[in-house]
Every structure is written in C-alpha cells, then in structure tokens.
C-alpha cells in the first residue's frame, strides 16, 4: 500500500500538507470513489490519519518521508520484485548469482540512499587515525561519494578517486560539485568484477561492497586491492558484520542477511571469517569497530607482505608493468 501511494506521488504530496479525497484523486489522476476507498484502507492500516475531510501521513511515516527515506523504499520495492522473494531465494540457493548492479532506473535512488547512509556512518570511519598521513584514497564502488567527501573535508591533504559504474558517477559528480571538492575528488568509471585497481593510491575503502559478491569474487577483488597497494597501506571495509557487537544480530543485520541470501552472495561472515578472507589476500585486520547507529561495522586493516609470488611493490605499478 505504501508503495502504491508512492507510485501515485501521494507520499510526497501528503508530506507537504493534508489533502482531501478530491484533491488526491485529481493529483493522482484516479477515480474519486476509488481514491476515497484507497484512502480509507490506508487509514485502517495506520498509514494515514483522517481529520474531518483531510487525510495526512501517519506521524512515523511523515518523519520517514521528510527525512529522505523514499529512495530506500523504492529500492526495496524493486528488490522485492526482482529477487528478494521466495523464488529469488530458492534460485540463489540453487546457485543463481544476481549481478551486483541495481536496475538502471534505480541508480538515482541508490545514490540518494547511499548519501543518506553515509551521513550516519562516514563520521565513524573518518575518526580512524589511519587517514592522517594518507595522500590518495581509492573509494572502490564508492557510490555517490559520501565517504570520500567527508574524508577529504576532514583531512585537507587527502585526495580521493571514486570508482564506480558510469551511471552512478553522474550522481557522484553532483554530490562532489555540491561539496566544492571537484579539485580533490576524481571520478573513474570502473568495473567491480574485473578491472584492476589503478596505481597511485596509498589507502582503499570498500564500503557496502563485499556483500555484493560471493566468496570467490570477494577473494578476487581483495586480491586486486592488495595488488594496487604497498605493504603497510590501510584498507578499510565497512559493511554489515553480524557478530561484531555482543548479542544476537540486530534486526537490521538479520534483514540484510536475507538480502545477501537472495542476491546469491551468501555474505554472512562474522569478523573472524572476514579477517581470514582478507588475510588470504594479504590484508591483515587491525581492528573491528561496530557502529551502533547503523548496526554496521568498520574493519580497519593493513596490507601485509602478500601471497607468496605476489610483489608488494609501492602502489602495485611495477607488478602491473611486469604483467604487460
């Protein structure tokens, strides 16, 4: 019902002001009797409230809509239709892997949702002392750039490159321009499942990225990250990691675990398992910090000597040249 109200544009309209059934029918371009029936059922289900002949959003929903939760709602609606359902979970259990990209129609919504998420969690990442002496961050699948933006604001000597799909980078460009950081944050089209991590970085961030990939693709990505960095360079992972905070998984962690089952990544590692995956790639975990507000965790790690046979040359450039 909430999705239907959003599709008709009513959540945004009603967040501005209460409306009568006639006003709603006209704005949503639906029959007046049907509009009245729809509104009545929304009231019965606690989604709207009625005061005389005016209908308004329930207080909790009003807060959600005005604080920018609609993009997330739209993405969840898409995921439910696409794969986050019984059929999708069964297909994933039988080996189906959905690609990491969201449908093109929802890239803008994802960009907005990620910016909103970054407002809550980026300050926790930015507090890590490891950024202080760093010069050039690789923000891999960095989305709308919320993390690169905050880190560059807090560390005036840091530059960043956000790597992501071309479709996403259009939105990143806007956020970076709004922040006035075009001179310090570069954007590079990049393919998560195969492109090397370019040379020239001395730290990397993987925020909400590993859950898009299954274990073998994660290992392969971590290997590419390691190959691009020098020994001692920091790698920060930010994701849902049930088991970091004491007690049972939070409702957010439990719900996100359904997502990772349905997308086929099966991303359920606790901190120890993720630490083992990273160690295999030559990246050693130094600390894991839960973020209470977002129920996510920040893993700070550093590149070690790497796998036998792998060079740990500065920024990986020599290694890449050797392969050419």
Ligand X SMILES: C[S@@+](CC[C@H](N)C(=O)[O-])C[C@H]1O[C@@H](n2cnc3c(N)ncnc32)[C@H](O)[C@@H]1O
Q: Which residues would be at the binding site for ligand X (CB under 6 A)?
A: 100-101, 114, 117-118, 141-143, 146, 164-165, 168, 190-193, 207-209, 212
Query: Contact, 8 vs 26, CB < 8 A?
Result: no
Radius of gyration of the chain (CA): 22
Q: How far is CA 107 from the centre of its chain?
A: 11
Angle, in degrees to the nearest 10, between helices 59-66 and 70-82: 100
Name the minimum Å distance from CB 179 to ligand X: 15
Kindly tell me which of 207 and 265 has the beta carbon lying closer to ligand X: 207
* Cα angle value 298/301/303 (rounded, 5°): 155
Q: Is the dihedral of CA 11, 101, 281, 255 positive or negative?
A: positive
* Contact by Cβ (8 Å): 167, 107: yes
Distance CA 12, CA 64 (A): 11
Q: How far is the CB of 262 from ligand X (least distance, A)?
A: 15
Minimal distance, residue 318 CB to ligand X, in Å? 26
CB 61 to ligand X: min, Å: 24
Which CB atom, from 25 or from 115, has the smaller least distance to ligand X?
115
Q: How far is the CB of 34 from ligand X (least distance, A)?
A: 37
Q: Least distance in Å: CB of 27 to ligand X? A: 33
C-beta of 54 vs 136, nearer to ligand X: 136
Nearer to ligand X, 192 or 227 (CB): 192
Phi-psi group of 145: left, alpha or beta (phi > 0 → left; psi -120 to 50 → alpha; rest → beta): left
* Whether 205 contacts 147, CB under 8 Å: yes
Tokens at 29, concatenated: 């371009």
Nearer to ligand X by C-beta: 212 or 299? 212
Is residue 280 within 8 Å of residue 224, measured between CB atoms? no
Measured from the CB atom, the residue of 21 and 143 that comes closer to ligand X is: 143
* CB-closest chain residue to ligand X: 143
Distance CA 6, CA 13 (A): 9
Question: For ligand X, which is the closer residue by CB, 58 or 167?
Answer: 167
How far apart CA 319 and CA 18 sit, in angstroms, is: 63
Smallest distance, Å, CB 122 to ligand X?
8
How many DSSP H helices and E strands does the chain contain? Answer: 14, 9
Q: Which is nearer to ligand X, 159 or 165 (CB)?
A: 165
CB 149 within 8 A of CB 172: no
């Amino acid at each position: 019902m909430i999705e239907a109200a959003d599709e008709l544009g009513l959540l945004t309209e009603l967040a501005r002001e209460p409306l009568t059934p006639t006003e709603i029918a006209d704005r949503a371009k639906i029959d007046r009797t049907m509009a009245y029936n729809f509104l009545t059922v929304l009231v019965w289900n606690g989604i709207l409230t009625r005061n005389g002949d005016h209908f308004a959003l329930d207080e909790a929903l009003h807060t959600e809509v005005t604080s920018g939760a609609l993009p997330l709602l739209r993405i969840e609606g898409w995921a439910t239709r696409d794969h986050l359902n019984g059929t999708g979970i069964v297909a994933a259990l039988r080996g189906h892997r959905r690609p990491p990209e969201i449908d093109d129609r929802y890239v803008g919504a994802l960009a907005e949702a990620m910016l909103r998420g970054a407002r809550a969690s980026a300050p926790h990442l930015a507090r890590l002392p490891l950024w202080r002496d760093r010069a050039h961050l690789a923000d891999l699948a960095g989305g709308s750039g919320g993390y690169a933006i905050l880190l560059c604001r807090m560390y005036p000597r840091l530059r960043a490159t956000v790597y992501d799909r071309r479709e996403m980078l259009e939105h990143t460009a806007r956020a970076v321009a709004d922040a006035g950081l075009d001179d310090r944050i570069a954007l590079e089209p990049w393919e998560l499942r195969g492109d090397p991590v370019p040379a020239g970085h001395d730290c990397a961030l993987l925020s909400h990225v590993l859950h898009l990939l299954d274990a073998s693709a994660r290992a392969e990505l971590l290997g590419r990250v390691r190959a691009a960095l020098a020994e001692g360079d920091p790698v920060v992972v930010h994701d849902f990691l049930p088991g970091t905070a004491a007690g049972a998984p939070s409702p957010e962690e439990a719900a996100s675990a359904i997502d990772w089952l349905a997308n086929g990544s099966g991303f359920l590692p606790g901190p120890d398992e993720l630490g083992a995956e990273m160690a295999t790639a030559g990246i050693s975990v130094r600390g894991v910090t839960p973020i209470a507000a977002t129920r996510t965790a920040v893993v700070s790690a550093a590149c070690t000597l790497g796998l036998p046979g792998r060079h740990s040359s500065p920024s990986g450039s020599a290694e890449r040249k050797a392969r050419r």
